[in-house]
Amino acid sequence: MTLPYFILHNAVSLSSLEGNREMGMILNHPTDISVLQAQFARDRKAAEAA
């Protein structure tokens, strides 16, 4: 059983909380989750190398 992934972007500032529209996604499909995990790993590796 694959648990769903919940992705949310939320900037924490007064203007963000009062004026912006934030969004999130729930992913249930294993392929979508794998793609997301792989991209996150690549991004993290690149950030650590910088």
Per-residue tokens: 24: 């999130």
Is the confidence at residue 38, as pLDDT, over 80?
Answer: yes
Q: Which pLDDT value is given to residue 2?
A: 67
| Type and span of the H or E element at 8 | strand 5-8
pTM of the model: 0.59
Higher pLDDT, 27 or 22: 27
Q: In the prediction, which pLDDT does 6 show?
A: 81
